[in-house]
Amino acid sequence: GQGPGQLPAERTAPGDSDLVRAARGLPVARTPVWFMRQAGRSLPEYRALRAGTAMLAACQDPDLVTEITLQPVRRHGVDAAILFSDIVLPLVVAGVDVEIKPGVGPVIAEPVRSVADVDALPPLEPDRLAFLETAVRQLVSELGPTPLIGFAGAPFTLATYLIEGGPSKEHARTKAFMYAEPAAWARLLEHLSVSAAVFLRAQVDAGASAVQLFDSWAGVLSAADYAERVLPYSRAVFDGLGDRDVPRTHFGVGTGELLALIGDAGADMVGVDWRVPLDEAARRVGPGYSLQGNLDPAVLLADRETIDREVRRIVQQGRAARGHVFNLGHGVLPDTDPGALTHVVELVHELTTR
């Protein structure tokens, strides 16, 4: 028989991992934990491997992708790997002129400003994703029981980069385009939903065990605009997965007023930033969803006592949801001490081992 706290022998497949089970609201051995942007500049081994290779070139090199994706799994013992890639990669592969400027973010050479610009966007051809399938296959074989999360950028967040030409705070041009050119807006978001679905299907068909849709900047919209002008296209991305049996996480920043809609777009699990406590988030999304989050990444820059207090609070509040995956409320900040991340993994496991 099995003693308490022991993993049942059959739970060695990534599709039956604690991450996948928590996302589906099934019982887990302990609360799974991973970190958005866990592969990246907080790790010296990442900076060493990336030296001399541009971000978007690194994302298209299967061996680099494999190694960088594995680094935080080895170092921190997180319960999931997330593919090392970027939300703009489908645009890059399709042939859009995009660069990721260090310390800035994605910059688009020719921003989308008209109906003609929308119509000129090249489609993402699935046969150009061979490098991605190679990387995912290599990763799945290296990872064994640890699930690999595939991801894509949601149509709205990608549209902000395409229209603004780069990162922005207010997304004023994006909103102006959305209001003034509703037909072109619909065509743009439709285009981006198709390429996101192609990108996600490639990852799942090569062996990813879960997916996450990043709509990082959706929180700048009112619930009414989100529901009418954005949600249908994010739903189309999830629908594009068809009957592929992987749990779906839907994440955005500043989405406190949108949480029910974010779930309703077709998610099994809703990502929550640090602004709304998880017990309140559970009330807002309703009973049919698991929650992922929601430690403020800045807390990791504080002292251990503060970190521990916040982790305990979040673990406790997370019990209000049908399932909880511990994560940050947004990505790891580059100057985070990697030791703090390892410590959080250990603490969450210690606090939640059944």
Residue numbers of the site for ligand CP3 (CB under 6 A)? 36-41, 50, 55, 82, 84-87, 100, 102-106, 151, 157, 214, 216, 331
**Is 216 within any annotated ligand binding site?**
yes
Strand 290-295, strand 324-328: pairing: parallel
Q: Rounded to the nearest whole angstrom, what is the least distance from the CB of residue 100 to ligand CP3 in the complex?
A: 5
Q: Which is nearer to ligand CP3, 81 or 236 (CB)?
A: 81
The Cα–Cα gap between 198 and 183 comes to: 23
CB atoms closer than 10 angstroms to residue 50: 20
Structural contact between residues 250 and 270, judged by C-beta atoms closer than 8 angstroms: yes
Q: How far is CA 300 from CA 150, 294, 344, in A?
A: 25, 12, 9
We find the least distance from the C-beta atom of residue 42 to ligand CP3, in angstroms, to be: 9
Would you say 38 is a known binding-site residue? yes
Residue 41 annotated as binding? yes
Q: Which residue is nearest to ligand CP3 (CB)?
A: 216
Q: Is 105 annotated as a binding residue?
A: no
Question: Which residues, in sequence order, are CB contacts of 37 under 8 Å at separation 6+?
Answer: 331, 332
Q: How far is the CB of 177 from ligand CP3 (least distance, A)?
A: 19
Residue placing its CB nearer to ligand CP3 in the complex, 31 or 71: 71
Nearest to 89 by CA among 77, 98, 76, 78: 98
Residue 140, SS3 per DSSP: helix
The backbone region for 328, taken as left when phi is positive above 0, alpha when psi lies in -120 to 50, beta otherwise, is: beta
What is the smallest separation between the CB atom of 260 and ligand CP3, expressed in angstroms? 21
List phi, psi (to 5°) of 331.
Answer: -70, 160
Catalytic residues: 37, 41, 50, 86, 161
205 is in an annotated binding site: no
The nearer residue to ligand CP3, 5 or 102, going by C-beta atoms, is 102
Q: How far apart are the first and last CA of the chain?
A: 16
Q: Which two tokens stand for residue 338?
A: 């990697």
Q: Minimum CB separation from ligand CP3 for residue 2, in Å?
A: 34
40 labeled binding residue: yes
Burial of 158: CB neighbours in 10 Å, binned 0-12, 13-18, 19+: buried
Sequence ranges of the binding site = 37-41, 86, 161, 216, 330
Sequence ranges of the binding site for substrate = 37-41, 86, 161, 216, 330
